[in-house]
Amino acid sequence: MGKTSTQEFHLPLAQITQSPIDCTLRYLEYRKQEHHGDCAHLGLEYSGVAPFEDIASRELAAPRREPTPVSSPWCVTLLSPAATLAQLQQLLRFFADRDWPVAAVDTLAQRRDCTVLRFQLAADLEFSAAKHACLQLARDIGADLVLQPGSSQQVPALAGFDMDSTLIDAEVIDELARISGIGDEVAAITEAAMRGELDFRQSFKKRMALLKGFSETRLAEIAAQLPLKSGADRLLGALRALGCKTAILSGGFTYFANYLQRERLPVDFVHANQLAFSDGALTGDVIEPIVDGLRKRELLQQMAGELGLGLEQVIAVGDGANDIPMLNLGALGIAIHPKPKVRLEAPQSIGSFGLDAALYLFGLNDQQIERLL
């Protein structure tokens, strides 16, 4: 094993695919300039032989403070926990094979455990087919690839969030069932609903009936122990700093959503299901209207109207099948750690990182994010 070197190479974008040597990718910066040459700035970390011979190089440069303004019709963002030159090469070949010209590349994150590259594409493509092709390549290279319209690379004005398994790392109804000793039975119903195999309203009523008699005192104890999803506080904090309104739109319960809003997260609005109590315990009954997938979409659209916002200023974030209607409403619909069905049907998805990775899809880099926080 030779000495480890970190170098920035200056070369045409197309030439990047020609090296047979793999190594760690640190960053890539590129601007297509018709009359001033075609030169990319590629930061690599390698041992032994350099990946590119007879190519001008220098020590790694400091990250750019501001990403290039988006002017292309489409963007693809690579989010990798361990970025490599081989990943980049496969992605550049993927673009070339489809005749998707790369107009610019910005590095939005270049940490050891997170490299984020945003590619602007001057391409004429059909979104659904292109998205599924990106999902397949993402599986092949072990990273996330997010396709979105270039116009959506902006900070939203309203963001709607699912709660269970999205803002918190738990399914509350499953927790209640586990404590009641019926965890497996209720979890199986929840999983079927989240996979889209069972109607949410039916599954909700079945699960609530099984929880009859659960103590209200225990609910308060559970609320205080609910773990936040990784990155939830950073994402909600950044959105608040940017002036974006946020809402919990949950098929879970107002009891827990209100606790999150009051004690844990900067949330502006809460819409969820109400619990019915009698003599300090759950009755097992359901209070209408149930917040199911269609209700979430209706509520998000209604809030946008009340705030005087167009849907191009609205995004949604969720993980389950009952989130799909609202994920397909606005400028972005981001599925976070989604079920397989949701990954295929949501416009965008992130599987390798926490919620705060959504900030890269708004066009922000690490330096801008840290200033916000």
Q: Catalytic positions, please?
A: 162, 164
Contact 179, 197 (CB under 8 A): no
Contact between 195 and 321 (Cβ < 8 Å): yes
Place of tokens 């999150």: 260
DSSP 8-state symbol, 228: B
DSSP type of residue 356 = G
- Which ranges constitute the DSSP H helices of the chain? 85-97, 127-141, 172-180, 183-194, 200-210, 216-225, 232-241, 254-259, 293-306, 324-327, 340-345, 366-372
Instruction: State the Cα–Cα distance between residues 262 and 98, nearest whole angstrom.
Output: 49
Angstrom distance (rounded) from CA 321 to CA 316: 13
Q: What is the DSSP letter of 230?
A: T
Residues belonging to the chain:
373
Q: Which two tokens stand for residue 242?
A: 């940017």
Residue 289: is the preceding peptide bond cis (ω within 30°)? Answer: yes
What span, in angstroms and rounded, lies between the C-alpha atoms of 56 and 132?
37
Contacts 24+ apart (CB under 8 A), 175-184: 175/222, 175/226, 176/211, 176/214, 176/219, 176/222, 177/207, 177/210, 177/211, 179/214, 179/218, 179/222, 180/210, 180/211, 180/214, 182/210, 182/211
Handedness of CA 318, 320, 322, 324 (dihedral sign): positive
Helix, strand, or coil here: 33? coil
d(CA 136, CA 239): 31
